[in-house]
Every structure is written in structure tokens, then in C-alpha cells.
A and B are shown apart, each in its own frame.
Chain A
Amino acid sequence: MEFETENHNEVLIVRLLEPRLDAALSVRFKEAMREVADESTEEIVLDLANVTFMDSSGLGAVVAVMKHMGRERVFKIASLTPAVDKVFKLTRMDSVFQILESAQDAIEGGLQEAG
């Protein structure tokens, strides 16, 4: 599974470089994300800009990552493409996530709060 990370002070952006977050990828995705979460202390923003298809297994994996991070850590998702956004909305799981228009919003938001 390919992804890249970008560190901005207290915010770690994890950008998934896969076009599909589906049943074939979901286990590897969960494992990789748990590792990233365990190795950092920052807020994590999962940037899904490259993901043009997500199925229910992919959605379940994103939920699992949030559960793994627990209440104490901040986990947000960003840059949902229309097809991915639709799966979150249809299942009503959009209500349990903090969803950003773009990962950049997390950094700028943080700067404003600090400034």
C-alpha cells in the first residue's frame, strides 16, 4: 500500500496514494494506519484526494482506524472525492467523522488558533 506523510507541527497528514480503498486493500490499510498512529502523537488527517473508489470494506477500515486512535487523539479525513463522499453519506457515517474540504484546512486552522 502506498502513502506519504507530511508533518506540520502538531498535524500529521497521511496521503493515501491508491485509487481504490476496497476489500483487497482494507486489511493492509488498517495495519499501515495503525502503525502510523502508534508512531506519532499528533493529530492525524487522512487525505483521500487520490481515492476515487471506496467500498464498504474500505469504509469499515477507516472506522477501525478512528477507533484505534481513541477519543484522546484527533483523527480527521479530508478531500473526499464525490464517489467516496457518497458512501460516507449514504451509510450516515459522515456524522461520526470530522471531514475537511482539504487537508490544508487542518494546518491553516491550527495556525489561526495559535496565531
Chain B
Amino acid sequence: MTEKLAAPDVKANGGDETLVLNRIIKSCQSTVGDLVSELDGKLRTRGFASDQVGDSCVILAEALNNVIEHGYQLEKDGDIAINLSATKECLQILIRDRGPSYRVPEAKTFTEPATDDLEQLPEGGFGWGLIHTLSDKVELRRKNDSNYLKINKFYQM
């Protein structure tokens, strides 16, 4: 018996301008695409700048793909609860999954890759780096057999 994953509450700060998205999705990559497209549309409708929209979508996609690929190991029936809120000042994404525990790699800056050996060029491992670069705070805790990932991004005014 697995306890159903409930979407925790995100308290909106009030006001019509707060975008709130609460979803539970299956750990499937195409579902991530649909959700990211939805976020893109909703942020644009609310007048967010293009780069804010783009950054927010990359953060959400990378965080979810990480859970799917490394947490649920590409199993498609894992539940992922997402609570997202966005105001003109800040984006907050909460992601909860029941996959194995994982750790967030330390933030490090990207360095220019050596190009003398084509075969050595990285084809992956960019995800966390993008999340760290594009966001301001990343926290992860493990509780009740679930991972709780919280990401905050403060939009430059």
C-alpha cells in the first residue's frame, strides 16, 4: 500500500497577480513538457519578461527531469507533487517525490570545456548547474520517505 501523495499547500500572498500551480504528475518526461509549456503561457499572460519566463521554465524542467531520471530511474508511474507560485518578485517551486533520496550537488560555475578531444565533451551533467545558475536558493530535505526540493528565484526588477 502506498500512501497517496498529496499536494502540499502553497499559500499565495494574495492579489490577482500571484500565479499558483498545484499539480501531481506521473514521472513521465512528456508530462514535464506539457507542464513547462503551461507555465510558459501563464507567465507570459501575466506580463513576465521573456527571460524571466525562459529561466523559470528551465528551472522547472531541470528539477523535474532530475527526479524522473535519477530519482524514479525513468519508471513512469512515480508520483511527483509540484507546487509553484510566482509573483513579480519571486518564483518558488516545491517538488515532492517518493523516489530514493538524492543529494543536490554543490553549486559550481560552468567552465569552458576543452575542445581538443571531441569525445571528451560532456553530453550531460548540466542540469543542476543550470538550476544553481538561474535560481537563488536550493534546499532539499528528506522526510517521510519523500524528497522535498524547494527552489527560489528572485526576479530582477
- Looking at the assembled complex, report how far the CB atom of A41 sits from the nearest CB atom of chain B, in whole angstroms: 19
- Decide if A90 touches B133 in the complex (CB within 8 Å): yes
- Looking at the assembled complex, report how far the CB atom of A72 sits from the nearest CB atom of chain B, in whole angstroms: 10
- Decide if A23 touches B61 in the complex (CB within 8 Å): yes
Which chain A residue has the least Cβ–Cβ distance from B118?
A67
Q: Bound complex: CA of A56 vs CA of B121, how far in Å?
A: 14
- Decide if B36 touches A53 in the complex (CB within 8 Å): yes
> Is B119 among interface residues, defined by CB-CB distance under 8 A?
yes
Residues in B with CB closer than 8 Å to A95 are: 112-113, 115
A91 and B115 contact, Cβ closer than 8 Å, known pairs A22-B29, A24-B32, A60-B123: no
Residue of B37, B40, B61, B68 contacting most chain A CB atoms (<10 Å) = B61
Residue of B36, B121, B123 contacting most chain A CB atoms (<10 Å) = B123
Q: Bound complex: CA of A60 vs CA of B32, how far in Å?
A: 18
Set A23, A59, A71: member contacting B32, Cβ < 8 A: A23
Residues in A with CB closer than 8 Å to B129 are: 90-91
- The contact size tier of chain A is 20 to 34
Which chain B residue has the least Cβ–Cβ distance from A64?
B123
Q: Bound complex: CA of A106 vs CA of B59, how far in Å?
A: 33
A59-115: which have CB < 8 Å to B?
59-61, 63-64, 66-67, 70-71, 82-83, 86-87, 90-93, 95-96
Residue of A64, A66, A87, A90 contacting most chain B CB atoms (<10 Å) = A90
> Is A50 among interface residues, defined by CB-CB distance under 8 A?
no
- Decide if B133 touches A63 in the complex (CB within 8 Å): no
Set A56, A83, A96: member contacting B113, Cβ < 8 A: A96
> Is A42 among interface residues, defined by CB-CB distance under 8 A?
no
Contact with A along B129-140 (1 / 0, CB 8 A): 110011000000
- Looking at the assembled complex, report how far the CB atom of B32 sits from the nearest CB atom of chain A, in whole angstroms: 7
- Decide if A22 touches B61 in the complex (CB within 8 Å): yes
- Looking at the assembled complex, report how far the CB atom of B138 sits from the nearest CB atom of chain A, in whole angstroms: 15
Q: Give B residues with C-beta under 8 Å from A.
A: 29-30, 32-33, 36-37, 40, 50-51, 54-55, 57-58, 61-62, 65, 68-69, 110-113, 115, 118-119, 121-127, 129-130, 133-134
Q: Give A residues with C-beta under 8 Å from B.
A: 20, 22-24, 53, 55-57, 59-61, 63-64, 66-67, 70-71, 82-83, 86-87, 90-93, 95-96
